[in-house]
Amino acid sequence: MRISQLIATKFSGKKNQDDKAVVTSLPTVKIVAVAKDEAAYIPEWVHHHIYFGFNAIDIYINRTSDNSQDVIQALQKTVPGLACLSADWVDTCPAEAKNYLQFIVYAKAFEEEKKAQDFDYVMFIDIDEFWTPCDMQSSIQDVINQQPEASALSFGWFNEHGQDTHFQPIQCQSAGQLSPLVKTLISLKADMTEVGLHQSQLSNDKVYMVDGDSFISNTDNKECLHQDLVKIRAVMILHRMFRSPMEYISLLSRGRPSDTLALKLNRGGYNKASGTHTRFELNQEAYLVYIESLTEFLGQENTQAVLEQAKHFVCKRYDTTLSAMGDLPIENLINLFEVFKGCDEQVMNCLVETIAQSSSLQSC
């Protein structure tokens, strides 16, 4: 199916242009995401979720210095279910609230969608997270219809290892590590008591995995799956936090919404993640059809120029990351060796030299 047909058939809500209800037997799902300086990855991510049947996507951009808004606006010419919203208003809140930016945005979005009644489900996922069925054919609707009584459906996390080449799509066979974390699709009929980034708390607690197993949380972390239930299932969330060595280092300069440091320090190194080492394999024939659709989508005239600009930003930010290392507070410098573990010798030598000459050390 050509991408124009995919958009026409999959990006439709429960209401028409006259805002009148349209009868449909398929459940409708909206994705809500918060993005910061991820313009280079938005087109691929949007296509991916169109392809698997998601009906609408709201992207909240915050503290952004790349061309995310231009990229989204370009995509809107062919993807009518895509919206670009600002989350900068959260930064007008007291400092304590700013650290919970994603929680605030997700809670607001859930309440608004619940009242609007335009969609049946909502899912909170990041731009580096890809809802991916192993058969590369099942839609989100197929999965929901297998367990329509569920208040929420959780999907396991697979930390995909990076590749040598920049800006690559998901691979047919990926090495990586299984994480106990999940991402969760939530019915808008559910009574949410506490929003979560991975697993929200519901009062009517009918939360299942994709294969029908009940979600049982880890005793140490309510957003993690119990260790006995962690395995590859028919649908996984591909967490693409590594991509390639250059991109991994560049992405560290995005920081975290919950702190003000120049670099993202909650990483254990390149291709280093917790969990069991394993492989995630996709249906090869269906994967090739997917890649053909992705290539067509990314090749659209309205997307190409802004996408190239976004990729240039990522490459330039790589140098910014290396420069920013020496400006971290002294108590954070030791974390850099953990974050850069697994990177090549040239980067590690640069790290040692930068730290030795850092303004933090000079002031001690």
The full 3-state SS of 254-289, as one line of letters, equals HCCCCCCCCCCCCCCCCCCCCCCEEEEECCHHHHHH
* CA distance linking residue 346 with residue 236, whole number of Å: 35
Task: Give the C-alpha distances (Å, rounded to integers) separating 201 from 19, 123, 190.
Answer: 32, 14, 10
| pTM for this entry | 0.89
Question: What pLDDT sits at residue 259?
Answer: 54
Q: How confident is the model at residue 13 (pLDDT cuts 50, 70, 90)?
A: very low
**Is 60 exceeded by the pLDDT of residue 339?**
yes
**pLDDT per residue over 232-265, tens digit each?**
999 999 999 999 999 998 988 775 555 556 677 7
Name which of 227, 232, 226, 228 is nearest 211 in CA terms.
Answer: 232
Answer yes or no: are the C-beta atoms of 283 and 136 closer than 8 Å.
Answer: yes
**pLDDT per residue over 60-101, tens digit each?**
999 899 999 999 999 999 999 999 999 999 989 888 888 899
**Is 60 exceeded by the pLDDT of residue 364?**
no
- Looking at every residue in the chain, the average pLDDT score rounds to 87
Average pLDDT score over residue span 317-338: 76
Question: What pLDDT sits at residue 319?
Answer: 85
Question: What pLDDT sits at residue 33?
Answer: 98
**Is 80 exceeded by the pLDDT of residue 355?**
no
Least confident range of 226-235, 337-346, 350-359: 350-359
Question: What pLDDT sits at residue 87?
Answer: 94
Question: What pLDDT sits at residue 3?
Answer: 56
Answer yes or no: are the C-beta atoms of 323 and 316 closer than 8 Å.
Answer: no
Average pLDDT score over residue span 188-193: 94
Least confident range of 108-112, 178-182, 250-254, 275-279: 250-254
Count the neighbouring beta carbons within 10 Å of the beta carbon of residue 269: 15
Buried b (16+ CB within 10 A) or exposed e, 191-204: ebeebbbbbbbbee
Q: Name the residue with higher pLDDT: 139 or 268.
A: 139
**pLDDT per residue over 95-106, tens digit each?**
888 889 999 999
Question: What pLDDT sits at residue 27?
Answer: 96
Question: What pLDDT sits at residue 8?
Answer: 54
Q: How confident is the model at residue 23 (pLDDT cuts 50, 70, 90)?
A: very low
**Is 80 exceeded by the pLDDT of residue 315?**
yes
Question: What pLDDT sits at residue 56?
Answer: 98
Q: How confident is the model at residue 157 (pLDDT cuts 50, 70, 90)?
A: very high
Instruction: Rounding to the nearest 10 degrees, give the CA dihedral for residues 12, 15, 18, 20.
Output: 160
**Is 80 exceeded by the pLDDT of residue 143?**
yes
> In the numeric block, which tokens belong to residue 290?
């997917």
Question: What pLDDT sits at residue 331?
Answer: 72
Average pLDDT score over residue span 103-122: 96
pLDDT above 70 covers a percentage of the chain that reads: 87
**Helix H segments across the chain?**
3-10, 42-51, 68-76, 95-98, 101-116, 140-146, 245-251, 284-298, 301-324, 330-339, 345-356, 359-362
pLDDT above 90 covers a percentage of the chain that reads: 68
Question: What pLDDT sits at residue 21?
Answer: 39
3-class DSSP state of 59: strand
